[in-house]
Amino acid sequence: MRLSELSEQSGVPVATIKYYLRERLLPPGHRVSATRADYDGTHLRRLRLVRALIQVGRLPVATAREVLDHVDDDSLGRTIRLGAALWSLPHGPDPDDGAPETAAARREVDRLLDRLGWTSVRETGELSPVHRSLVAAVATLLRLGYPYEDGYLLQQGRLMYQVAVQDLDMMETYPSETEQVESAVVATVLYEPLLSSLHRLAQEEESARRYGL
């Protein structure tokens, strides 16, 4: 299809598509003459992903390009490719190594992962920005003097594992590895806020059941 049709089908203005092409967020069309390029379903799918990252996820253009570069890198094994794409998405703050609570937080997180039996992420450790955010969040609890509830986190961790199994099952319904990695990125950007709303609504429901309205 022509650029104008791509714009029509995607609902993205031609000028915006041209900007995405210049910024290498969208691969160039297949050149059919000196003045015309042809676009296909791949472009339509990528355009949808770019909008999800930039308009909904509010990623800066450079970060979005980094995510997409990992999505497209089929030289990597699937776990690494998935990890690289998801790790380049925005995440919580890193732990503050100068703070006295950080060492205690690291011990708590190690112990929690051991009890959960999550041996791979225990090994990858703070290579993962998600692991680092977890340490930072625990350190914040400790710094403010709030109790670190390890029994609670153990139970919630087990439930989150079941949530993750559903996530990967959904991902595997997509045919190609590239589409699977794309779907994981979309899930993190678009479905995570949805799960977070479901969590809070479940609290409201359970509160009404326990205490009435």
Shortest CB 21 distance to a copy of itself, Å: 19
Total binding residues toward a copy of itself, as defined by CB under 8 A = 75
Shortest distance, CB of residue 9 to a copy of itself, whole angstroms?
9
Number of Cα atoms under 13 Å in the Cβ half of residue 153: 17
Distance CA 188, CA 89 (A): 9
Q: Which of 1, 21, 92, 126: binder of a copy of itself (CB under 8 A)?
A: 92
Establish if 48 lies at the interface with a copy of itself (CB under 8 A): yes
Contact 69, 39 (CB under 8 A): no
Nearest by Cα to 20 from 210, 35, 53 = 53
Q: Which of 1, 124, 126, 179 binds a copy of itself (CB under 8 A)?
A: 124
Using CB under 8 A as the binding rule, whether residue 25 contacts a copy of itself is answered as no
Query: What span, in angstroms and rounded, lies between the C-alpha atoms of 41 and 60?
Result: 25
Residue 146 burial class via C-beta count within 10 angstroms: exposed 0-12, middle 13-18, buried 19 and up:
exposed
Q: Is 42 a residue that touches a copy of itself (CB under 8 A)? A: no
Q: Please, which of residues 130-169 interact with a copy of itself by CB under 8 A? A: 130-131, 133-134, 137-138, 140-141, 144-146, 149, 152-153, 155-157, 159-168
For a copy of itself, the closer of residues 32 and 161 by Cβ is 161
